Structure 1
């Protein structure tokens, strides 16, 4: 038990140090600025009826610093614009808020989950103009299905080991009102929908070593939990592939239990495979899952960082590299990953030291070499694409 008390104390000291070292003026949202990406990243795709207009990048920002921000990249002009939220919404004095945790597009709206500010910001996807704020305490991730948005939420105060079980909140995407919620495990994280079921990764991260270890299964027709699948401790990422399988990550306990990746067959709702690799984040594109791992150990006090590719059709780990030119040596803390749905280029974000502006890298889909990079806001997190 003593090692977990040390862990809690270490986290408090780290957070206090970050807050102390930041100037009070950082509490004011920063202004927009722009630059042209040196190399034009837009490729032409023959016979494609789908065109991309650009992408949004959500910068998480430092906790208690009110520095969450939104960037936008225009594929046609090559113009990368930082901190666009303030320009689109000058009447919102405090900007986007505190800790941008997740973001997604559904229809004509952009949904931004702002964790510590306890809200989901709904914006016009074309202009970035605020449409509405939906209040959800300690909200984490968002997904969509048949006209509804689903938001996972920890509830309770941040870091409180006595926090209640978390919930999934159902929101009507037409009225933008909460219509229902269901209780799941403690500190629920990412979600995925397969058929008419929603799967939720529970972490229990506020109360080590008593972590949660289940994926909750919600029947979307009744909106009730119908099953809990036992997986491993401290679950986080959860992605669905095209074959009806779920890829679920376990962060371990940062001491003796290492991170692992599990595959769940949603037909039987059982674990069908385990990979003895750490995965901090992954993106699935067709038959491949691209991942990175930033695994911290409180025993060594260091991060171990690596990258890899899974063949999800055959469910095997490959020796393929999606960064081949040594650029990974310049990435301090990989923090976000995405695949361009048209060109198939790979994007990786670097959070650096968590208090300085980050970097977004674009890697060529064939060669794995860096095509371009650009400075972002603090702790660049989630990237979503905008279609014409």
Structure 2
């Protein structure tokens, strides 16, 4: 099976398929079928009815899947898409990279299948598929969806072309505009009429990009490029107009860090001095998990931190307070319920078998744990009932 070094190469280079032998060792791994599991008493005291969890699935195996946790029943529903869409032959596709709810629709970005799947948020039934080459992440604003795209084949190439952002009208589900940005763009945030795009340059390794592209949404043109740090990835926007963008470093001498951009001046104003693989902003707290691989030590450094954006300081270096972090092999996704403040962390385990989802109380104590699909990663909370 794949070792940690192989796994991190896959992550470094934008989820490239560098461990082709995995398909040969899946023979005795059972396929996940649609099923439900009761894990906690029903809870109806919150407008949030539940959340969708997108499991990436290992590249080349067509195993992206969606789970749903229903607060109103206390049940966890695994792999809901095939049951709701029996006529879709290859089910969800290859590598689920992002998921979000906007209005009455659920959007799943399927990276290596090169499309955005649009579903009914109440039923997860297929509405439409929008072709976007090597699509990565999605954000929304004023009736539009914005999807980042590597805009080229899934392969390492020192001459890989710049990426792009595609604008989609959420009513007609048609592509309305495109704009060229930096190399291999990842996450985005929107504020004050501007779209900020984190460019990684992962396909051009070791010559990473180090910029954030700023797109004026009215003209849909890049109006500036902010020099930040190499290999940019995740983004969060606080209520003060500060943008937090993570850098994955180069896995040798340059480590991971989180940099801060003032969106009023479009200047880098500092860094947090802490690694972050995943970030989730809830209120004034950014919850960060990190799995930082080093080729120098041939090992991962794992962390769970909270940064307070009001006080502008790290207030916790381990938000899991009961020792459960020792159970988690590879923390891969993190989210916080904005109403209950429950903390959710996923474990990708060995990347080729079903993972796990952990639910923690606001003070970091384990409430429950449940099996997921392969490589559980991305969350989308919903206030709409799931039928």
TM-score (norm 1): 0.92
- Give the equivalent residue in structure 1 for 2:245: 248
Contact 2:187 2:234 in 1 (8 A): yes
Residue 21 (structure 1) aligned with residue 25 (structure 2)? yes
Residue 73 of structure 1: SS of its match in structure 2? strand
Give RMSD over aligned pairs.
Answer: 1.8
Residue 64 (structure 1) aligned with residue 65 (structure 2)? no
**Cα deviation per residue 1:83-104 (whole Å; 9 max; x = unaligned)?**
1000000000111000000000
Residue 318 of structure 1: SS of its match in structure 2? strand
**Cα deviation per residue 1:31-59 (whole Å; 9 max; x = unaligned)?**
2011101x337373xxxxx6121111100
Deviation, structure 1 residue 24: 10
Distance 2:26 2:278 in 1: 28
**Cα deviation per residue 1:162-216 (whole Å; 9 max; x = unaligned)?**
3211000000000000011000011000000011000000000011121000000
Q: Structure 2: state its 5+ residue gaps.
A: 1-8
Contact 2:44 2:72 in 1 (8 A): no
Distance 1:77 1:139 in 2: 34
- How many pairs were matched up? 372
Contact 1:58 1:70 in 2 (8 A): yes
- Give the equivalent residue in structure 2 for 1:376: 372
252, 257, 262: which one aligns with 1:260: 257
Residue 23 of structure 2: SS of its match in structure 1? helix
Distance 1:70 1:340 in 2: 18
- Give the equivalent residue in structure 2 for 1:138: 134
- Give the equivalent residue in structure 2 for 1:110: 106
**Cα deviation per residue 1:317-342 (whole Å; 9 max; x = unaligned)?**
12364210000000111111111111
Distance 2:103 2:380 in 1: 13
Residue 275 of structure 2: SS of its match in structure 1? coil
Residue 272 (structure 1) aligned with residue 272 (structure 2)? no
Label 1:385 to 1:229 Cα distance change in 2 as closer, same or farther (>3 A): same
55, 58, 77: which one aligns with 2:51: 55
Residue 287 (structure 1) aligned with residue 284 (structure 2)? yes
81, 92, 101: which one aligns with 1:85: 81
Runs (4+) off by over 4 Å: 10-14
- Give the equivalent residue in structure 2 for 1:231: 228
Contact 1:43 1:343 in 2 (8 A): no
Residue 116 of structure 1: SS of its match in structure 2? coil
- Give the equivalent residue in structure 1 for 2:4: none
- Give the equivalent residue in structure 1 for 2:6: none
Contact 2:55 2:378 in 1 (8 A): yes
Contact 1:155 1:163 in 2 (8 A): no
Residue 20 of structure 1: SS of its match in structure 2? helix
212, 228, 231: which one aligns with 1:215: 212
Q: Structure 1: state its 5+ residue gaps.
A: 1-6, 45-49
- Give the equivalent residue in structure 2 for 1:42: 43
**Cα deviation per residue 1:57-85 (whole Å; 9 max; x = unaligned)?**
10000000000001111111111110100
